[in-house]
Each structure stands twice: as structure tokens, then as C-alpha cells.
Amino acid sequence: MITLEEIKAYARIDTDEDDMLLRSCITAAVEYLKHATGKDYPETDGEENRIEYALEKIYLQLLVAYWYEKRTPAGGVGEDFSYMTKSLMLQLQNK
């Protein structure tokens, strides 16, 4: 659904040294999105056209970038991040 390159561009990460960590965060974020929405996200529609998940990609970029930048124990989530991601998740759940 989202590539390492897209995440690195979004988060402005120029090095390759944390690629393994970023890949792990991407996998976890996609799984989180699937479980939180209860939806599958196929790569193509019934006519084999590639599906673009614009809102989902923004959510994943925000989540992965946050996890990458704020590698701290759970519980210290900033209010802006929390409100923004809750709003996005609500939209994705009702999409």
C-alpha cells in the first residue's frame, strides 16, 4: 500500500541506515490500519486497475513518521498527533 521510498520522502530521511526499522514500522502501520478499519486493501479493483489509497497513505505516512521520530515508550503521544490521527481513522472507518 505504501513504499519505503514514499515514507522516506515524506519524512525527509536521506540515509539508508534505518531502512529495516522503517520497513518494520510500515508493516506494523498497515496491519494497524487493517485491524482498526476492519477492511482489506487490495492492490487492484475487479477490473485489475490499481487502487490509489490517498487518505490511507497520508495516515500511514503520519503514523510511520511519528513512530520513527518519537521512539519513546507508549503514553507520550502529542495532542495534535492524537487528534489528527483519530480524525483520519474515523474517516477511514466510515469510508
Q: Each residue of 18-74: pLDDT tens digit? A: 999 999 999 999 998 998 899 999 999 989 999 999 999 999 999 999 889 887 655
Higher per-residue confidence, 54 vs 92: 54
> What is the reported pLDDT for 87?
79
Does residue 15 carry a pLDDT above 70? Answer: yes
> What is the reported pLDDT for 9?
96
> What is the reported pLDDT for 88?
79
Phi, psi for 86 (deg, rounded to 5):
-65, -40
Higher per-residue confidence, 95 vs 79: 95
Distances (CA, A) of 49 to 33, 42, 46, 92: 22, 10, 7, 21
Q: Does the pTM of the predicted model rise above 0.85?
A: no
